[in-house]
Chains A and B, each alone.
Chain A
Amino acid sequence: MSDSPFLNAEAGMSMSNFLVSSVHDMKNSLSVMASFLESALAQAPDQSAPLYQQTCQALYESQRINDHLIQLLALYKIEQEFYPFDPQEQNLAELADDALSRVANLARSNGVSLEYECPDDLNAWVDYELILGVLVQALHNALHYTRDSVLCLIAADPRGGITIRVEDNGPGFPDFLLRQGTSRDRGVSFETGSTGLGLYFAAVVAGLHRGGERGGSTHLENGGHLGGGCFCLELP
């Protein structure tokens, strides 16, 4: 970050102010847009009409933009050392409810079965907004690539801490992605057009969650319960 032009104090502040205030604005507009699209879907008479499918697609795209804005803004703040990281003891079933509800409409309109498993009394120390961001992004990704089923599994880790897995029954992650892993220094993939933002964000967020000497981590694998791609997040 040392060569960032934003580091200059005055310029940094004004750039940061523009960034933050325009992201506010964009997110306000997006949430209104998304809620219009959702009520349009709810009122649609014919779910097989092309217009219905296009509205679903528009909803997915608007949510993707929202995910990216959240991630960019959080990463910018983390790297500029002003993200207010604030771990709180959080009930994970509640977190899962919130995350799944954000993608439930999309799943329904795409005909994807969406379920989760989590003990009711499982708690963990997490920064709610960051972990929610990671989880929603993983769910969006899984919904996009799955055939017809997405499963979110949250469980206590016998070594201490918790694991969160988002699994699907799609074709799975391509080999090069599995090889690259989610290390923070992987570059933009021109092969797929993926910017890698989501995975980078997840890795940074996992790393911020520390318990004693241990930090959180992420990895990708294929298989799991549904035979497709699995995104795994482990937190101490």
Chain B
Amino acid sequence: MKIHDLPRPDFSKKSFLVVEDYEGMRGILRDLLGRAGTTRIDFASSGGHALAMLEKNRYDAVLCDLHLGQGKNGQQVLEEARLRHLIAPHAVWLMVSAEKTSEMVMGTAETRPDDYLVKPITETLLFTRLLRQMDKKKVLAPIEQAMRDHEYLRAMRLADQLLTAPNPHTWDLKRLKAELALLSGDLKQASAVFEEALSQRDLPWARLGLARILFQDGQLDEARRHLLQVTGGSRSYLDAHDWLARTLENLGDLDGAQVALERALSVSPHIAARQTSLGQVAARRGDTEAAARAFRRGIELGRNSPQASAEPYLSLARVFLARDENGEAAKVIGQLAGDMKGDSQAQFLARVMEIPIRLKTGGERAAHKLLEELAPTLRDDAHRLPPEMAFDLAGPLMQLGDMETTHAVFTSLLANHHEHPDYANRIRTLFAEAGREEEGMKLVEEATRTALEIMDKGVRLSREGKLDEALSLLREARHKIPTNPRLLLNHAYLLISYMEQRGRDLHLVKEALDCIQTARNLRPHEKRAGELLAKLEQVGG
């Protein structure tokens, strides 16, 4: 029989940041850390204050409360700090919370803290977890560095090496490896880890991982089966609800998608992006009441935060226009212009949305004037319009008789989205309804052909070994058609082939990385982006 009388760790050389809005708790943590000899403790009482401290100092560990009263919460602080590289690779981030919440489960390597501590925090709990996580971060620091360099294959190799010997972080490593495999498009390795985890226990994160792979692989029914299993017993697994909604939406089950999002929002109503997704599903179902409510909440939640987006404003204005509540639409657009003053893209979109609003409120001359002002930008930079806004604009542009801008807008839309299943049909219908059926057919055909021809020509040139010519073709194309994921990935592929023949070049690596990241932002679930990232990493120097 024994009592573990744990020797106190020595933290005298470690520096800490404690982020906590509650004074009593700050005192407790100072006292606890002091027992391990810590003298270097800074305190921040709000998220903004914490970020300012992180900008100035590099800490060995951050203890951050999840709920920080007004302003940013602990999770937002962590994500912003990671994004801005304010945390050293070896630094430990422990999130402190009064209770176990749904934010604590799932998430990705980018969004998860190293560990969670649920109050009340005792000396033993704090020291055990700090020591374990400090040890883990030391072991994982090279992997973390590789991830920061976007070198996921190297990161995976390092993880595999560590996994050959027994160590106390086996499952953390395996889970990380699965995420790395997903990032580099290696679905098979990711799958293997998730299957192994599921053979141990019915672990929600592993089942979600499998479902994501099935989704990427187009096996939507199978993905749905797993997601229903994860979400069936608990509303807590928020990511799984988002994926279920996405899957059901793709299967055409909009009612189910709305229910899934509403269930997640009933647990965690404060996520702007999820409210906006709910609005979009509701709008597609024709439930304009629910859509307007969700967009409104999305606007409130995003306002003044780094997550602020023009999307819910524009969508809400669209709902109002469809219901002939034109005054309300104008109000929302006014709000957008006011809320996102520093964002030139948001300002541009707000101005564009004013065209249909002015037209519907009887201001044909005012609309005309605004269009004259905006038309040059609309023609030259048509890709700046989100697809749905191109459709918002179609009727008004035709009504105002500006066929040149109409053509520019839709040519750009199709060239950038030549693989989209609906756009071509919607455009043909739109033109047909305006009595311009033939014109619409011709536009669709020419715009789609432009994108395809560039791709064909690029492939042909590179097959013929004319890599320089192929590269300048794709660079020029990217200038005109900057948001076509397929073209971007072809561009990256060409850059990689180029370097395989002529050697690694830092500028070209950067150019390829930029293409891949842009494509991934446009189409997050495209596995080819990960595969190219892996290939890029392997290009010898």
- Residues on A facing B (Cβ under 8 Å): 9, 12-13, 20, 23-24, 27-32, 34-35, 66, 70, 73-74, 77, 81-89, 91, 93-94, 96-98, 100-102, 114-117, 125, 129, 151, 210-211
Contacts and interface: CB of A to CB of B under 8 A. Distances in A.
Contact of B120 (A20, A34, A93): A34
B224 interface: no
A23 B98 contact: yes
Interface centre among A9, A28, A29, A91 (most CB of B within 10 A): A28
Contacts of A115: 1-3
B123 interface: yes
A93 B4 contact: yes
Given A66-B120, A88-B171, A210-B202, A117 B236 contact: no
Interface centre among B1, B24, B100 (most CB of A within 10 A): B100
A84 B237 contact: yes
B318 interface: no
B168 interface: yes
Contacts of A35: 28, 31
Contacts of A96: 4
Contacts of A102: 120, 122, 124
A28 B128 contact: no
Nearest to A77: B236
A87 B205 CA distance: 10
Contacts of B400: none
Given A82-B235, A89-B200, 9 more contacts: A28-B24, A28-B119, A35-B31, A82-B102, A84-B237, A87-B203, A94-B128, A98-B125, A101-B122
Contacts of A74: 100
Contacts of B121: 31
Nearest to B126: A98
Interface string B284-297: 00000000000000
B190 to A, nearest CB: 19
Interface of B: 1-4, 6, 22, 24-25, 27-28, 31, 67, 98-102, 104-105, 118-125, 128, 132, 168, 170-171, 200-204, 233-237, 266-267, 269
Looking at chain A's contact residues, the main secondary structure is helix
A114 B25 CA distance: 28
Contacts of B98: 23-24, 27-28
Contact of A27 (B31, B105, B119, B267): B119
Nearest to B98: A24
A32 B28 contact: yes
B131 to A, nearest CB: 10
Contact of B99 (A20, A85, A91, A116): A20
A73 B99 contact: yes
A91 B120 contact: no
B1 A151 contact: yes
B234 A97 contact: no
B99 A9 contact: no
Given A27-B119, A98-B125, A125-B201, A82 B168 contact: no
Given A84-B105, A98-B128, A129-B100, A31 B28 contact: yes
A111 B361 CA distance: 83
A98 B102 contact: no
B1 A86 contact: no
A190 B28 CA distance: 39
19 contacts: A13-B269, A27-B98, A28-B22, A28-B24, A28-B25, A31-B28, A32-B27, A32-B28, A81-B236, A83-B234, A83-B236, A84-B237, A98-B124, A100-B3, A101-B122, A101-B123, A101-B124, A115-B3, A211-B201
Contacts of A151: 1
Contacts of A211: 201
A27 B168 CA distance: 32
Question: Which 3 pairs show the lowest CB-CB distances between chains A and B?
Answer: A101-B124, A31-B120, A84-B236
A72 B266 CA distance: 20
B28 A84 contact: no
Nearest to B199: A212
B403 to A, nearest CB: 49
A86 B204 contact: yes
B4 A97 contact: yes
Contact of B105 (A24, A31, A86): A86
A38 B10 CA distance: 23
A84 B100 contact: yes
Contact of B101 (A9, A84, A114, A116): A84
A185 to B, nearest CB: 20
Contacts of B22: 28
B128 to A, nearest CB: 5
Contacts of B102: 82, 84
